[in-house]
Amino acid sequence: MSDLGWIGVAMLVTFFAGMVIAPIVIKVASKLKAKQTILGYVEQHSQKSGTPTFGGLIFLLPFVVVSIAFGGLSYTITRMALVVTVAYGLIGFLDDFLKVKYKENKGLKAYQKIIFQTGVAVFIAYFSYKNPFIGAKIALNFGLQEIDLKYFYIPFASLTFIAMSNAVNLTDGLDGLAGTTTGIYLVTFIFITLFGYYDAVEYGKTQYSKELLSFMISSASMVGGVIAFLWHNSHKAKIFMGDTGSLALGAYAGAQALFIKNPLISILVGIMPVVSCISVIVQVVSFKLTGKRVLLMAPLHHHLELKGVNESKIVSFYAIITIIAGVVSLLII
């Protein structure tokens, strides 16, 4: 089998592993009464109250095991991606645990989340800056030239991790929405990484090509796990991702963009999580300044729901837009 063939193998192994553990996670979460409490003002989702949470474990656990089994710890890029993903997953797990324990949609306080997220982000950003395969240079003009951020790379990278994880978290509001859009994002970045891999091979950068191959295998593993999760999360969801999954998934998405030195293109590839963030910011600013709301409810997907758009159709719209954005990104790069 060719080296690139292992990318497909990793995806399939994680998918089947996820399919095996999914019923177990759902059963255990239900038995322990680890159920999602729906916010009172999201009336259209009242019937979903009591659906098990912690669904992120369905893709997170096999992803970690498969990435390690395929030698991911031997490569610095993959190793750092694993660390930031697991760390953010643990932050989300703590948040979900507190929500379940106190039976209300209030886990960690906002400032506590930010402190934990920032600590992890700065740690990984520093080691990314020092890593010879990553460094402080990022692509500008969609990859046409590079700029060296020097020490500014650390706050920039930290902000990217925090923003991306919270963007995916905000998008996680409908059955299958966050998993579908982020899954397409991950696949797009596998192709972007593949371009870099072929360049590394062509120019004889043997060790760097091995780093990128390992990273693609790890990314494919995450995709396989997310597909298994979507099997059980698509409408009507049997289990929710929870912050355990959304924060971890967003952190990995940030790692994909940063570690191949192309964080700016992630704004286009991840257009729908970006829209979710912008819609919340606009709603809050408008209400604070004028006392009026621009949307019926933020993020945007809830506004569309209240306008009468079917939940599954919203997920389809978001997926189609993300696919188009991904194709445009690949054409540009």
17 CB neighbour count, 10 Å cutoff: 21
The position carrying tokens 């990104």 is: 329
Looking at the predicted structure, is the pLDDT value of residue 37 above 70?
A: no
Q: Residue 143: what pLDDT?
A: 56
Radius of gyration of the chain (CA): 19
Query: Per-residue confidence at 205, pLDDT binned at 50, 70, 90?
Result: very high
Using a pLDDT cut of 90, give the percent of the chain over it.
81
Closest C-alpha among 88, 109, 244 to residue 158 = 88
Domain extents for the chain?
5-266
Residue-wise pLDDT for 249-295, tens only, equals 999 999 999 999 999 999 999 999 999 999 999 999 999 999 899 99
Question: Alpha-carbon distance 229 to 245, whole Å?
Answer: 10
Q: Residue 15: what pLDDT?
A: 98
Report the range of poorest mean pLDDT among 59-73, 104-118, 314-328. 104-118
Looking at the predicted structure, is the pLDDT value of residue 204 above 70?
A: yes
The position carrying tokens 């990859």 is: 143
- Alpha helices by DSSP H, listed for 103-205, are 110-130, 153-171, 177-202
Beta bridge partners of 137: 148
Query: Per-residue confidence at 145, pLDDT binned at 50, 70, 90?
Result: confident
Give how far Cα 126 sits from Cα of 105, 123, 149, 150, Å. Answer: 34, 5, 13, 11
Give how far Cα 108 sits from Cα of 116, 268, 280, 296, Å. Answer: 10, 30, 20, 27
Q: Residue 67: what pLDDT?
A: 97
Determine contact, residues 217/70, Cβ cutoff 8 Å. Answer: yes
Closest C-alpha among 166, 198, 158, 159 to residue 182 = 166
Angle at which helices 153-171 and 110-130 cross, to 10°: 130
Determine contact, residues 57/268, Cβ cutoff 8 Å. Answer: no
Looking at the predicted structure, is the pLDDT value of residue 215 above 90?
A: yes
Residue-wise pLDDT for 155-189, tens only, equals 999 999 999 999 999 999 899 999 999 999 999 99
Give how far Cα 110 sits from Cα of 6, 104, 134, 173, 228, Å. Answer: 40, 15, 31, 18, 30
Report the residue count for the chain.
333
Cβ neighbours for 289, distance < 8 A, ≥ 6 positions apart: none
Q: Residue 30: what pLDDT?
A: 86
Report the range of poorest mean pLDDT among 10-14, 104-108, 157-161, 265-269. 104-108
The pTM (predicted TM-score) of the whole model is: 0.93
Query: Per-residue confidence at 191, pLDDT binned at 50, 70, 90?
Result: very high
